[in-house]
C-alpha cells in the first residue's frame, strides 16, 4: 500500500479577486508611477502527496480565510511603498491604504500574500506551492517559497 500514492503529487488552485490602486514610486519613472487601479487576480496553488479522509488535498471552502484576509487588508485600498510621500495624504484623508516594505509591484504583493497563505495553509500534508498575482489578463507575477 502507498507506493503509487507516493508517486503522485496533487495540486489545486483557487482564484480570488480584489480591487485596489497602487503606484510605483521607488526608483521608477514609467507610467505606473501614476496612481492607478487594477482588478487584481490572486491565484493560490496548494500541493501535496497525500489526500485527506475525503480524498481532497484541501476543501476549496477551506481556502476562504485567505479571501477574507485579502478583503479586510487589501481590497479597496491604495497600496503604497511605506516611504512614498503620497502615503501621508492617503492617511490624512482617511482613505484605506496598505503600506509595503518594498515597492508595491505585483512581485511584492504576491510575496505578501504568499506569507499569509503559508501561515494559513501549510501543514505536514499540504504546502502552498505558489501565489500568482495578476494586474491584468496579460501581466502577472508568481512567487514560490524557497523550499
Binding region for Zn ion (CB under 5 A): 135
Q: How far is the CB of 110 from Zn ion (least distance, A)?
A: 13
Q: Which is nearer to Zn ion, 101 or 125 (CB)?
A: 101
17 forms bridges with which residues in the sheet?
41
Helix, strand and coil in the chain, % to nearest 5: 30, 35, 35
Q: How far is the CB of 38 from Zn ion (least distance, A)?
A: 5
Q: Which is nearer to Zn ion, 35 or 122 (CB)?
A: 35
Q: Which is nearer to Zn ion, 37 or 91 (CB)?
A: 37
Q: How far is the CB of 135 from Zn ion (least distance, A)?
A: 5
Q: How far is the CB of 105 from Zn ion (least distance, A)?
A: 8
Interior CA angle at 63 toward 147 and 9, to 5°? 45
Task: Measure the CA–CA gap between 103 and 70, rounded to whole angstroms.
Answer: 18
Q: Which is nearer to Zn ion, 132 or 135 (CB)?
A: 135
Q: Which of 84, 85, 81 is nearest to 108 (CA)?
A: 81
Q: 107: which 3 cell numbers?
A: 512581485
Q: Which is nearer to Zn ion, 126 or 132 (CB)?
A: 132
* Ramachandran area for residue 76 (φ above 0: left; ψ -120 to 50: alpha; else beta): left
Q: How far is the CB of 23 from Zn ion (least distance, A)?
A: 8
Amino acid at each position: 500500500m502507498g507506493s503509487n500514492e507516493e508517486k503522485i503529487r496533487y495540486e489545486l488552485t483557487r482564484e480570488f479577486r480584489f480591487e485596489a490602486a497602487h503606484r510605483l514610486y521607488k526608483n521608477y519613472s514609467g507610467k505606473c508611477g501614476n496612481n492607478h487601479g487594477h482588478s487584481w487576480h490572486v491565484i493560490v496553488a496548494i500541493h501535496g502527496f497525500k489526500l485527506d479522509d475525503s480524498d481532497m488535498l484541501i476543501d476549496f471552502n477551506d481556502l476562504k480565510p485567505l479571501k477574507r484576509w485579502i478583503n479586510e487588508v487589501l481590497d479597496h485600498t491604495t497600496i503604497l511603498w511605506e516611504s512614498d510621500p503620497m502615503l501621508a495624504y492617503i492617511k490624512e484623508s482617511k482613505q484605506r491604504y496598505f503600506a509595503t516594505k518594498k515597492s508595491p509591484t505585483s512581485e511584492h504583493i504576491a510575496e505578501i500574500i504568499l506569507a499569509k497563505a503559508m501561515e494559513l495553509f501549510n501543514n505536514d500534508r499540504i504546502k502552498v506551492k505558489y501565489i500568482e498575482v495578476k494586474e491584468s489578463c496579460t501581466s502577472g507575477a508568481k512567487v514560490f517559497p524557497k523550499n
